[in-house]
Structure 1
Amino acid sequence: MDKLSTRAETEKIARLLGRDPGEFAFLAQLPAEDVRRLREQTVAALYDNAPEMLDRIARATKLVPAGVAAAISQKALGPRLAAAVAGRLEPSRAADIIDKLPVAFTAESCAHLDPRRIAGIVANLDEGLLVRVSVALAERGDHLTMGRFVGHLRDSVLIRVLPQVSDEVVLRTGYAMDAPERLPHIIELMGDDRLEKVVASAADGLWPQALAIASAVTGEQRTRIATLAARRPPAQLDGLVRTVAEQDLWESLLPVVAVLSDEDRRTVAVLPALRDPEVLAGVVPAVVATALWPEFLPLFDLLPEESRKTVADAAGGLPDADLDALAREVDKRDLWELVLPLVELMDDGAKERIFMLPAFQDRAG
């Protein structure tokens, strides 16, 4: 999930700074955890050194009724400044004022609220208002802001919100969640029928978001998502593989394919995309870089013969260090039965190189 997580974190930083995500393309090579920490530092830099004027305004709002403070926020401050002031108030007071504001104004302000203040404010807001604001955010297409909030919403709110938002919104918000550990619970709240519709919607250009969600869950839930994806029409499934190849997302796809049944994995293996030499050329470097041989080899075994030969030639052309790492990983996981068909398809020169590797010499010794 690392590449997709890094991408999501980069988009969040760009939103915080009001810039185009493309300006932060240099972050793509960093681990997601590092980019997440950078986002947290960005939040602190933006909100911890707020002008003293905001504290004066916040103190002034305590002297007037919540309705008056709401009117001032709407007429005099505007969404951005109102959100900044709300971040300086006690959560209960901020909630009292928000309750008096139009939903559209609140939804627009949410994008500017200090993310660290969200949990406290949400805990003090009326359930009905949270539902209305969530739906308004969905209608605005503000998935990044929804991603900040959804992890703090009560089950009773989520159960009411989910039927009112599109499958696309669910995918985009799940991808952008600041609290991905909440995803498994939200998926359970959705139910099987809705999950199937959400996965189906990924074919409309949202396969990366679906892969990010599948990578964030484990066990039976990952298997459910993987199976639903594998049973989409072949043209849609082929589109998934080509998207993965174009964006180099093999590290996200292969662990998902690995949990499929043999029958569903066979469906993936015979896709037209996995007969395309250009697509297959990217698989081996990705598997080497991520040490995903245990996840890839069962799929390799089911590929058409010409595809297996293409993969074998690519593997045989790897540098000695990468081949040795492959051999040691195979030995550690006891995958020799799966890897030998790969070696058998290599040319004689590649076979000789492999058998002379330190890993093979150590094993022979």
Structure 2
Amino acid sequence: MSRAEAEKVARLLGEEELGFLTGLPTEDVRRFREQVSAVLNDGAPEMLDRIAAATKLVPAGVAAAISQKALGPRLAAAVAGRLEAGRAADIIAKLPVSFTAEACAHLDPRKIAAIVDRLDEGLVVRIAVALAEKRDHLTMGRFVGHIRDQVLGRILEQVRDEDVLKAGFYVDQPERLPRILELMGDERLGSVVRAAAAGGLWEEALAVAASVGGEQRLRIAELTARLDGADLDSLVRVTHAEGLWEALLPLVALLGEEDRLAVARLESLRDPRVLGGVVGAVVATGLWGEFLPLVGVLPEDARKVVADGAAALGDAELDALAREVDKRDLWELVLPLVELMGEEGKERIFALPAFQDQS
């Protein structure tokens, strides 16, 4: 999902939003953001180097006072990026936490790891809490991947579920998310899932789920499926409205029979517009293997909508569906759909090369 990356680029450039970036591949937007950040930080005026050199000549407390009174958060962050990490950490330790939290948003991301590693653990916790109180989840996401486990554990105890979820959405090092979920534990994870439902933060929750695998992804899927029907309907409708089926369907495919049945009974999955959107998304992504197990337990009227949608596909799309079904041996799930099609749809299916091969 590229919305998080687009918002990071907008923050770098001081723009309200850059919505046109959200339709691009996430990795492309991430590389673009890194290039923009490098240009902005490497192309700063020589004056910053002179200020950085001057700070080395005075005690850390004096340098901190100059940073706070004369430079301000943005310029102070730019100067910190030109200092040796230990010296920058000494100055930060003398600054008010609120000032440091504001400056964090402007620090060169390439310098974050070295500076954070030299800060007192308690100070890191206080800065993180201050960022959460400011609702600056984007900056939290930039830093969280560089924080040691024991410090993360202390931060998790002091911030809200919503803050955890939003920081996870913006995290710059998504490979750290599995470890963060381990530190949270099962009870806290369930609380965060409920917070996603209460706050309508489904895009954020799906992004986090997509960044983990194995048992963790399964657990997120199960906890979500066991929410009440109204919450699950809201998830389906947000997924439909925002085009997030590629993120949701793999989670549904992980569910056991009982949980899958709970999803299949949702009122939102009887809406022809929603089901039509799912079919279109599945055609575009090729996620038939993830979608068909759910289709198999939908009510008959909903399955009829899916069957009609499949029958209306173009020849190439229909043949691609049949070949994917054949490759993954899903004919047992598809044939009941074929039975629900009109005569014209059945004839098109039976005439497909892939179906002929199956026969």
How far is 1:169 from its partner? 0.3
What one-letter code is carried by the residue in structure 1 that aligns with 2:82?
Answer: R
How far is 1:29 from its partner? 2.4
Match of 1:129 among 120, 123, 128: 123
1:35-54 residue pairs with structure 2 within 5 A? 35-54=29-48
Deviations 1:41-92 (A, max 9, x none): 1111111111111011111111111111000000000000000000111111
What one-letter code is carried by the residue in structure 2 that aligns with 1:19?
Answer: E
Match of 1:344 in 2: 339
Structure 2 SS opposite 1:318: coil
Query: 1:92 and 1:342 mapped to 2: Cα distance?
Result: 65
Match of 1:185 in 2: 179
What one-letter code is carried by the residue in structure 2 that aligns with 1:10?
Answer: A
Query: 2:212 and 2:301 mapped to 1: Cα distance?
Result: 34
Match of 2:220 among 219, 225, 243: 225
Match of 2:86 among 71, 74, 92: 92
| Greater CA drift, 201-210 or 128-137 | 201-210
Alignment of 1:146 onto 2:163: no
Query: 2:264 and 2:191 mapped to 1: Cα distance?
Result: 24
What one-letter code is carried by the residue in structure 2 that aligns with 1:20?
Answer: E
Deviations 1:167-186 (A, max 9, x none): 00011001110001000100
User: Percent identical across equivalent pairs?
Assistant: 70
Query: 1:28 and 1:211 mapped to 2: Cα distance?
Result: 16
What one-letter code is carried by the residue in structure 2 that aligns with 1:8?
Answer: A
Contiguous gaps of at least 5 residues in structure 2? none
Deviations 1:240-285 (A, max 9, x none): 1111111111111100111111100100000000011111110001
Match of 2:64 among 64, 70, 91: 70
Runs of 4+ in 1 over 4 A off after TM superposition: none
Alpha-carbon RMSD across the aligned residues, in angstroms, is: 1.0
Structure 2 SS opposite 1:124: coil
Alignment of 1:357 onto 2:319: no
Alignment of 1:6 onto 2:17: no
Deviations 1:88-131 (A, max 9, x none): 11111110100100000000000011111101110111101000
Query: 1:35 and 1:343 mapped to 2: Cα distance?
Result: 41
Alignment of 1:320 onto 2:311: no
Query: 2:334 and 2:25 mapped to 1: Cα distance?
Result: 29
Query: 1:132 and 1:210 mapped to 2: Cα distance?
Result: 25
Structure 2 SS opposite 1:152: coil
How far is 1:26 from its partner? 2.0
What one-letter code is carried by the residue in structure 2 that aligns with 1:351?
Answer: K
Match of 2:28 in 1: 34
Query: 2:122 and 2:248 mapped to 1: Cα distance?
Result: 39
Query: 1:348 and 1:25 mapped to 2: Cα distance?
Result: 44
Query: 1:344 and 1:116 mapped to 2: Cα distance?
Result: 58
TM-score (norm 2): 0.98
Match of 1:263 in 2: 258
How far is 1:25 from its partner? 2.2
How far is 1:356 from its partner? 2.0
How far is 1:360 from its partner? 2.8
How far is 1:308 from its partner? 0.3
Match of 2:211 in 1: 216
Match of 1:16 among 12, 28, 33: 12
Match of 2:170 in 1: 176
Query: 2:76 and 2:62 mapped to 1: Cα distance?
Result: 13
How far is 1:290 from its partner? 0.8
What one-letter code is carried by the residue in structure 2 that aligns with 1:310?
Answer: V
Deviations 1:306-347 (A, max 9, x none): 000001101110111111111111111111111111222111
Match of 1:104 in 2: 98
Query: 1:259 and 1:362 mapped to 2: Cα distance?
Result: 29
Match of 1:245 in 2: 240
Query: 2:225 and 2:127 mapped to 1: Cα distance?
Result: 35
Query: 2:125 and 2:55 mapped to 1: Cα distance?
Result: 26
Query: 1:47 and 1:7 mapped to 2: Cα distance?
Result: 23
Contiguous gaps of at least 5 residues in structure 1? none
Greater RCO structure (CA 8 Å; 6+ sep): 1
Query: 2:331 and 2:210 mapped to 1: Cα distance?
Result: 27
What one-letter code is carried by the residue in structure 1 that aligns with 2:41?
Answer: Y
Q: How many equivalent residue pairs?
A: 358
What one-letter code is carried by the residue in structure 1 that aligns with 2:97?
Answer: V
Structure 2 SS opposite 1:202: helix
TM-score (norm 1): 0.96
Alignment of 1:272 onto 2:234: no
What one-letter code is carried by the residue in structure 2 that aligns with 1:258?
Answer: A
How far is 1:18 from its partner? 1.3
How far is 1:355 from its partner? 2.1
Query: 1:324 and 1:35 mapped to 2: Cα distance?
Result: 33
Query: 1:363 and 1:271 mapped to 2: Cα distance?
Result: 34
What one-letter code is carried by the residue in structure 2 that aligns with 1:11?
Answer: E
Alignment of 1:331 onto 2:290: no
